[in-house]
């Protein structure tokens, strides 16, 4: 092997520090080759190595086993019943989408779907969480339109429905949009495949598309801040082929049926480097491969390029010796490459040759377990004390609350996302129960089981900006509440943690506090974090994004047909309001009546201040259990939680789904000291229900048994939304006016 004396700029440009380069030299006992240096650079990036986030992620108990042991699997798996499991994971593709939005978003979808079927699961659903700057800036609208286009084109072509998601808009995302993609699949529990290479002598088989020069150093690109040179980063963005991915899904699942495949991993971040070193590090083995055997799109590709390429639609399989041709024939039948490029060996080393020449020889643990881990400093952000203060006495109550409601309905963050979801094929596969826009979460029936699943991805960045710890708790609580509102029991979480530069103490403070909140809430609810992704360096010349942890929640429906939507179904149903019981005689934490950190405060008063109301985790958990029980007994017609925009927006959304209005009168116990706080305050653990009159008594009894309050506040019917407070009318709008505002938000 040839080793070189090189200038520091070489490894610095790869994202390595001088100390890290010296550590590599010390581990190897020599200067690394170019190929070895590239392998270390990608595997020691934050994106692959979690070198900054690892100490904080240990707060997640289910993660901890992986962090301290063999490493992460491609996705988490939760049992659905005795025979089937649900595999799910979320990841970010933020930087690629900022540079090339269509391909960045499309390959984000492709990559997360591969994480699912590498577990042996058939992908059945996609969800997305998107953040952009204000749409009145042409660049932001361009990014928004082309990201949605990329998600829809890839998902629609591979035949996996996009069933749910969220879209937020805020100036902090100008220059650095967030594109988080979540995928879900179903797998027989006796056929879950792991990313391991346990058996020496087994074949290392490359399958799928040919390797190109796209995506080289994509992992290091994801571990740096976007700057003015972002157009020069286009070669770091992969190019996707959804039709190739569809072939790869079918071929992979068919190959697993042969029993010849011992393990496999998707060639995502770090490409062939990751798929050789991670499985062997977990298994205590090694591999010998020859990169000249790898199918390439260009004849003159170097071993450096081949080892680091992140070209899409590729997998690495570990196949039983003697059964290579059996597995390969399956992939060839589907028109895909299937080539044995090496063997698993007992010696714990990743040995790479190119046309016989040795170009890299690294113990896999050096690339994985020896990745440096840093305990970064935290510092309370300077903005926080002032931003958390809010003097409600100085905040006027608007004269026309009807106009306020219409303005909120017309804001892009709250308004209808029909323009987005109508581009997605949400019916393909025929398992989707609730159409987009009709439920608080997606609900899917599962073939081979009476049970169904509910899925939601959610997160409020403003809450985390103004109170990172509380914001992390609320992100879990709201995602769990969303799946409970369709009748499911919350079961497990995947998360995508989007933050700025972690080496800035105030950013790492946001990260540590938000993760602590997520960890405590998920443990309290019994919804462990079983997979996820960290995305740092989400900054541009305009500054860092708001801290944006997004929570992908999986819920289990005892019977799929019990799924409940959010819309009022018919005239004459009773409208009920469920919330925590009023507490008397206890010292109350100082409250901003739900106006702190609210969308109302930001849109109407131009203020991003205060703090979100503290969640009551015990009451929240009781609410989740109540809602699932109500659905299982078929006592409710609809369920919808309060979130951005508060009660008035939630009630209007219930009315708009099926065009059925409502007239309600809130009792004194459900009223805040200010009318705008009652209508638009963002309180946790509150849900609007509708039910047939004969079921109201049973609902109230069950609510009381769960330690919650349930108020009968009105009835459905008519073509208006009418809200009174203790008999005094305060909102009176036609559904047509509300719909015009709501549907026009993104136009």
pLDDT digits (tens, 9 = 90+) for 329-340: 999 999 999 999
pLDDT over 70 percentage in the chain: 94
What's the pLDDT band for 669 if we cut at 50, 70, 90?
confident
Is pLDDT above 70 for 99?
yes
Sign of the CA dihedral running 397, 398, 403, 406 = negative
Q: Do domains 1-59+193-371 and 384-538+555-743 have the same CATH topology?
A: yes
Residue 670: the pLDDT is 85
Phi, psi of 708 (to 5 degrees): -120, 165
What pTM did the predictor assign? 0.94
For the beta carbon of residue 124, count every other beta carbon within 10 angstroms: 25
Q: Which residue has the tokens 């008519």?
A: 718
Cβ neighbour number for residue 449 with a 10 Å cutoff: 16
Tokens 């939760």 sit at which residue? 78
User: Is residue 364's pLDDT more than 90?
Assistant: yes
Q: Mention every residue, 6+ apart, whose C-beta is less than 8 A from residue 201.
A: 321, 343, 344
Interior angle at CA 159, CA 431 and CA 640, nearest 5: 40
Q: What pLDDT, on a 0 to 100 scale, did the predictor assign at position 235?
A: 52
| Residue 240 confidence (pLDDT) | 80
Alpha-carbon span 692 to 461, nearest angstrom: 37
Domain 384-538+555-743 grouped into CATH 3.90.650.10: yes
**Confidence at residue 239, expressed as pLDDT on a 0 to 100 scale:** 77
pLDDT score recorded for residue 499: 97
Q: For residue 377, what pLDDT band results from cuts at 50, 70 and 90?
A: very high
pLDDT tens profile 379-417:
999 999 999 999 999 999 999 999 999 999 999 999 999
As beta bridge partners, residue 555 has 454, 490
Average pLDDT over residues 163-191: 96
Q: Name the nearest CA neighbour of 405 among 723, 12, 105.
A: 723
pLDDT recorded at residue 4: 59
Decide: helix, strand or coil at residue 716: strand
pLDDT over 90, % of the chain: 86
The DSSP bridge partners found for residue 184 are 88, 125
Q: How sure is the predictor about 9, in pLDDT bands with cuts at 50, 70 and 90?
A: confident
pLDDT score of 214 more than 90? no
Tell whether the model's pLDDT for residue 591 goes beyond 80. Answer: no
C-alpha 547: how far from its chain's center? 14
CB 349 within 8 A of CB 363: yes
State both tokens at 11.
Answer: 């490894």
What pLDDT is attached to residue 64?
Answer: 46
CA 346, distance to chain mean position in Å, is: 38
What is the arithmetic mean of pLDDT over 579-606? 82
- Distance between CA atoms of 608 and 601, rounded to whole angstroms? 7
Q: Which of the residues are catalytic?
A: 47, 93
**Predicted pLDDT of residue 588:** 47
Give domain 1-59+193-371's CATH superfamily: PurM-like C-terminal domain (3.90.650.10)
pLDDT score for 68: 42
Average pLDDT over residues 340-358: 97
- Rounded mean pLDDT of 610-635? 97
| 506: Cβ contacts below 8 Å, ≥ 6 apart | 378, 379, 380, 381, 382
Alpha carbons 359 and 421: distance in angstroms, whole number: 48
So where are the chain's domains? 1-59+193-371, 384-538+555-743
Per-residue pLDDT for 546 more than 90? yes
Reported as a pLDDT band with limits 50, 70 and 90, residue 713 is very high
Please state, rounded to an integer, the average pLDDT across all residues of the chain: 93
Residue 429 near residue 474, CB atoms below 8 Å: no
CA angle 266–123–307, rounded 5-degree value? 10
The pLDDT score that the predictor gives to residue 65 is: 46
Q: Is pLDDT at 587 greater than 60 in this prediction? A: no
6-16 average pLDDT score: 87
Mean pLDDT of 227-248: 70
């Amino acid at each position: 092997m040839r080793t070189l004396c090189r200038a520091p700029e070489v490894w610095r440009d790869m994202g390595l520090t001088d100390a890290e380069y010296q550590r590599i030299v010390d581990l190897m006992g020599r200067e690394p080759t170019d190929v070895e240096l590239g392998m270390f650079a990608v595997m020691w990036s934050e994106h692959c190595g979690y070198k900054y986030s690892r100490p904080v992620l240990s707060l997640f108990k289910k993660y901890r086993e992986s962090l301290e042991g063999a490493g992460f699997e491609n996705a988490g798996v939760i049992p659905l019943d005795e025979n089937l499991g649900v595999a799910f994971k979320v990841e970010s593709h933020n930087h690629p989408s900022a540079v090339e939005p269509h391909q960045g978003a499309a390959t984000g979808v492709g990559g997360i779907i591969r994480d699912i079927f590498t577990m042996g699961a058939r992908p059945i659903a996609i969800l997305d969480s998107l953040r952009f700057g204000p749409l009145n800036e042409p660049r932001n609208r361009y990014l928004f339109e082309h990201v949605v286009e990329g998600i829809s084109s890839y998902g629609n072509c591979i035949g996996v429905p996009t069933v749910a998601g969220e879209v937020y808009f805020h100036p902090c995302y100008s220059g650095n949009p967030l594109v988080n993609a979540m995928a879900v699949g179903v797998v027989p529990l006796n056929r879950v495949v792991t990313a391991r290479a346990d058996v020496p002598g087994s074949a290392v088989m490359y399958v799928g598309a040919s390797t190109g020069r796209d995506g080289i150093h994509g992992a290091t690109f994801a571990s740096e801040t976007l700057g003015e040179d972002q157009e020069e980063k286009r070669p770091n963005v992969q190019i996707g082929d959804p039709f190739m991915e569809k072939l790869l899904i079918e071929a992979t699942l068919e190959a697993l049926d042969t029993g010849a495949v011992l393990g496999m991993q998707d060639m995502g971040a770090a490409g062939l480097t990751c798929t050789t070193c991670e499985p062997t590090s977990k298994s205590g083995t090694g591999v010998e491969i020859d990169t000249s055997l790898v199918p390439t799109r260009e004849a003159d590709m170097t071993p450096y390029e081949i080892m680091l390429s992140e070209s899409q639609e590729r997998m690495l399989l570990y196949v039983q010796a003697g059964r290579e041709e059996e597995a390969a024939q399956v992939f060839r039948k589907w028109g895909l490459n299937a080539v044995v490029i090496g063997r698993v060996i007992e010696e714990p080393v990743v040995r790479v040759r190119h046309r016989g020449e040795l170009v890299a020889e690294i113990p896999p643990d050096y690339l994985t377990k020896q990745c440096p881990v840093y305990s970064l400093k935290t510092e309370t952000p300077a903005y926080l004390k002032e931003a958390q203060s809010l003097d409600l006495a100085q905040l006027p109550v608007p004269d026309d609350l009807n106009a306020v409601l219409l303005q909120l309905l017309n804001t892009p963050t709250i308004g209808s996302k029909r323009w987005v979801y109508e581009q997605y094929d949400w019916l393909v596969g025929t398992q989707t129960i609730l159409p987009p826009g009709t439920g608080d979460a997606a609900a899917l029936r599962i073939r081979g089981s009476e049970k169904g699943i509910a899925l939601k991805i959610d997160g409020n960045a403003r809450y985390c900006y103004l109170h990172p710890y509380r914001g992390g708790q609320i992100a879990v609580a709201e995602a769990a509440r969303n799946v409970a509102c369709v009748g499911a029991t919350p079961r497990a979480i995947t998360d995508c943690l989007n933050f700025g530069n972690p080496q800035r103490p105030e950013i790492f403070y946001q990260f540590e506090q938000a993760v602590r909140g997520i960890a405590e809430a998920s443990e309290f609810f019994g919804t462990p974090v079983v997979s996820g992704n960290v995305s740092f360096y989400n900054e541009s010349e305009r500054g860092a994004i708001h801290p944006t942890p997004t929570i992908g929640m999986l819920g289990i429906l005892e019977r799929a047909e019990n799924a409940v939507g959010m819309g009022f179904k018919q005239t004459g149903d009773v409208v009920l309001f469920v919330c925590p019981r009023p507490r008397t005689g206890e010292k109350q934490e100082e409250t901003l009546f739900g106006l702190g950190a609210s969308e109302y405060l930001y849109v109407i008063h131009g203020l991003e201040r205060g703090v979100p109301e503290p969640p009551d985790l015990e009451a929240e958990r009781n609410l989740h259990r109540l809602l699932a029980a109500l659905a299982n007994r078929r006592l409710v017609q609809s369920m919808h939680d309060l979130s951005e925009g508060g009660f008035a927006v939630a009630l209007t959304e219930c009315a708009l789904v099926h065009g059925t209005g409502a007239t309600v009168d809130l009792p004194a116990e459900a009223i805040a000291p200010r009318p705008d706080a009652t209508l638009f305050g963002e309180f946790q653990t509150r849900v609007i229900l509708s039910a047939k009159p004969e079921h109201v008594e049973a609902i109230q009894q069950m609510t009381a048994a769960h330690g919650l309050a349930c108020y009968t506040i009105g009835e459905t019917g008519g073509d208006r939304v009418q809200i009174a407070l203790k008999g005094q009318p305060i909102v009176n709008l036609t559904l047509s006016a509300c719909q015009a505002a709501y549907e026009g938000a993104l136009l």
